[in-house]
Structure 1
Amino acid sequence: MKSIKTVLLGVTLSAGAAVFVGTADASADELYTIQAGDTLSTISNQFVGDNSLIQQIADKNNISDINLIYAGEKITIPTDGVAATEVTSEPVSEPATDTPVETYEEPTTYVEETYTEPAVAETTTTAATTSSAKEWIAQKESGGSYSATNGRYIGRYQLDSAYLNGDYSAANQEQVADNYVAERYGSWEAAQAFWVANGWY
């Protein structure tokens, strides 16, 4: 125990820094701080090498239960008139009590998230386009009307009647307009830019 060195050192100093040979009377009581794991029996053994001090320590310190002492408490060891035993070897230190404590760490659980492509609502070709450039052109050409006419130019996008092949339905107007723009300009945005520059597409 850690306290053995401290206690033995105290006893040695009080006896004039000499090693006991045979028996010798200690001259005074000792003050001792109880260490973790101590019992009155181990404390008695530290001072006189046997259990002969247990009751005297209990009486001196008003300990009613000799089996109940507290670490950190200071007690008086009545060594006056008690024969000390011979100390012939180095006190043995108790192994360190600071043993590593294994801790369990809950493993991290990973929840695999799956990405679902959001459903895209189907749009009919007869409805107004979602392309702002396409809608912009429709408004400029016909005010957005599928039935608008201007000579040979028909419908929402004012397409040449030859392109529509006699089918003036909204669905056909949308399809033909998309094909025309894709082939001529590549995109409705490019067609819009051309219209802004020229007033037609």
Structure 2
Amino acid sequence: MFKKNLTKIVASVAALGAGVAATTAVANADTVYTVQSGDTLSGISMKFAKDTNHVNELAQKNNIKDVNVIYVGQRLLITSDGQIEQATAKQAATLPSANNTANTNSSSYTSSVSGSEAAAKAWIAARESGGNYGATNGQYIGKYQLSASYLGGDYSPANQERVADQYVASRYGSWQNAQAHWQANGWY
């Protein structure tokens, strides 16, 4: 009799522990991300999962036919394991928004380039990413396709602008010189 009751108690405690663990994982980690202008599926994957190797899988889970096409306002569920799924209306209404947890280590930045320098900067951005802050190509990230190591994990538009200006100033002296290098070599 004692052994039988002990088995029931152990099973009950184990079930209770598993239930608490499952509830905790769902309650604490799931958020909804609303696609914003300039976002890409690979950029969102990099932002939340720190990995772009699963973009095709994410597209398939979300019924996204073309990995290069997502829409502003589209809601994606970000789960505790970094997986991205289509958010239901109920989830969007009850879960916290990931858009409110923007990178806090960046501040607003206004580039000081103007005139022909700004035109050269825009020309490079158009060639590198089509002007898309969320563009990725291997280790190269964002509007100016900077090495991820240069960005230090902060892929915000403000940091991309700041780092691009610093990189070009230190390497080429000006955006016009960087553009001339790009035209001669196909990269800057």
Question: Higher relative contact order by CA 8 Å / sep ≥ 6: 1 or 2?
Answer: 2
Q: Give the helix-richer structure, 1 or 2.
A: 2
Instruction: State if a TM-score over 0.5 links the two structures.
Output: no
TM-score tier (shorter): 0.3 to 0.5
- Normalization by structure 1: what TM-score? 0.37
Q: Which has the larger radius of gyration?
A: 1
